[in-house]
Structure 1
Amino acid sequence: MRRSVVAIGNFDGVHTGHQQLLRTAVEHAQELGTEREPLQVIVVTFWPHPMSVVAPGHQPLLLTSLSDRIDLLRRYGADEVRVVQFTRDVAAWSPQKFVDTILGPLDPAVVVVGENFTFGNRAAGTPQMMREFGKGRFDVDIIHLVSIDSERTCSSFVRSALATGDVAAAARHLGRLFRLSGVVVVGDQRGRELGFPTANLPVAADLATPADGVYAGWLRRLDQPSAIRMPAAISVGTNPTFDGVERRVESYVLDRTDLELYGINIAVEFVEHLRGQVRFGSIDELIEQMNKDVAATRAVLGID
């Protein structure tokens, strides 16, 4: 195996701080590699979330599925992604064993980590400790945390922003629009009866979602790589007007009543929060508000 530059971390959300870490890894690979002996960028991440192992029931909601995380890591520079299955045994490793077991086989020239990265039993390992372990074998580049608008970028901040419906703040720290993806399921089909047919996604129990409410955003089919994104008014919640109990993401593609998306894998991207979820007194009030939501979505997205 040829030498590598290794970036290691949890990488939930692959936000702008993670992206800075990956850019640094790519720069090291370009500087140290040669045409004859290029260095590959290997990203090491962990699944499931370590908190689900060390403190079951207290793990955070995830910002991305594992498959989306891997796709994003590759988009931002990884040549290869190594997923470490995080178990109680792994959690119990000493910091030295962690370095020898995880990093040793990758033969890194440089390891890139964030300044808040910890590893080994009871999170006793620090970046400075990793640097000591690597003497004579590899260098360690410790990346400072990123801040945007005076707020420290981290997965916890993005989760908090989503929990209040501030998808715009989440997007600034992610460096892209927050999105949910999945297969469209058959819902109650009330939207079609009201003139606003929606594509329905169930809310995954382990994934973070924006707060209940209505949002302006985009919908894209994932079964067609060249498919254009379509403007959408997106509702997140239980549909209280009809006494719903199941939390869903329902997307109405503007001016489209001809779409057949059942069973299709789609992505829904959130641009801006429009309003909270409301129980309406009548169907007419609901339809009137839905027309207002569509008009507000047009204004936010800048479309006629």
Structure 2
Amino acid sequence: MRDPIKTKISEPYPIIEESEIINGFGRGSSELGIPTANIPISSNLNKLDPGIYFGFSKLIPVSKDLETKKRSDGHLVEFNHGANLSGEETCVFPMVMSIGYNPFYNNTEKTAEVHIIHKFQDNFYGAKIKHAVLGYIRPELNYTTKEALIEDINLDIEMALRALESSEYNQYKHKIL
């Protein structure tokens, strides 16, 4: 069992930002069954140590034409800019965010991947995402199996949901509306 998350917000949190969802590696949904929204590493996120963080997020559709972009693996990805998001899917949801190098996949560049804790009906590449990073769960780890990685991600989600129920964290939900 992991140590409980601190129930008091302290520096450098909260980190509240808005960014565009970009191409990732396509592993979150297809390999892990845990879809992620990749975002550019801002200077505030880059200052954080590699690890798993938690908070709230909200998707914002962007009025843009449908685009198709090529991922680094050559796979084509449809950027619908969130045009298919339902009203419910633009609400504020809890999230966990991985910031780091994903050693299981041997990444050489620091990335930020947001797992919004909600089941979406369609992709939303190119939409905007507003997020509030409120705290830290654990350091980035390497894994010997994909199953162990998935198990830890699910533990991260449980810990984030428990922490976000507290009034200390829950008060930040309205700051990203």
TM-score, normalized by the shorter chain, greater than 0.5:
yes
Does 1 or 2 have the higher relative contact order (CA < 8 Å, sep 6+)?
2
Count of aligned pairs between the two proteins? 130
Alignment of 1:111-150 (within 5 A): none
Match of 1:278 among 141, 153, 160: 141
Partner of 1:203: 41
1:162-207 Cα distance to aligned partner (Å, 9 max, x none): xxxxx931266xxxx2123211011111110211000000214xx2
More strand by share: 2
Query: 8 Å contact 2:50–2:139 — kept in the other structure?
Result: yes
Q: How far 1:301 moved relative to its partner?
A: 0.9
Partner of 2:119: 256
Alignment of 1:6-17 (within 5 A): none
Label 1:259 to 1:170 Cα distance change in 2 as closer, same or farther (>3 A): farther
Q: How far 1:284 moved relative to its partner?
A: 0.9
| 2:50 matches 1:212 | yes
Q: How far 1:212 moved relative to its partner?
A: 1.2
Alignment of 1:170-185 (within 5 A): 170=11, 177-185=14-22
Q: Within 1, Cα distance between the matches of 2:130 and 2:115? A: 13
Rg larger in 1 or in 2? Answer: 1
Q: Sequence identity, in percent?
A: 23
SS in 2 for 1:255: coil
| Matched residue type, 1:200 | N
TM-score by length of 2: 0.66
Query: 8 Å contact 1:231–1:301 — kept in the other structure?
Result: yes
SS in 2 for 1:280: coil
Tell me how large the CA RMSD over aligned residues is.
2.3
1:203-250 Cα distance to aligned partner (Å, 9 max, x none): 14xx222221101111112348x9421111111111111001121111
1:56-114 Cα distance to aligned partner (Å, 9 max, x none): xxxxxxxxxxxxxxxxxxxxxxxxxxxxxxxxxxxxxxxxxxxxxxxxxxxxxxxxxxx
TM-score by length of 1: 0.40
Q: How far 1:259 moved relative to its partner?
A: 4.6
Partner of 2:29: 192
Runs of 4 or more above 4 Å deviation: none
Label 1:255 to 1:229 Cα distance change in 2 as closer, same or farther (>3 A): closer
| 2:63 matches 1:222 | no
Label 1:292 to 1:185 Cα distance change in 2 as closer, same or farther (>3 A): same
Label 1:254 to 1:268 Cα distance change in 2 as closer, same or farther (>3 A): same
Partner of 2:104: 241
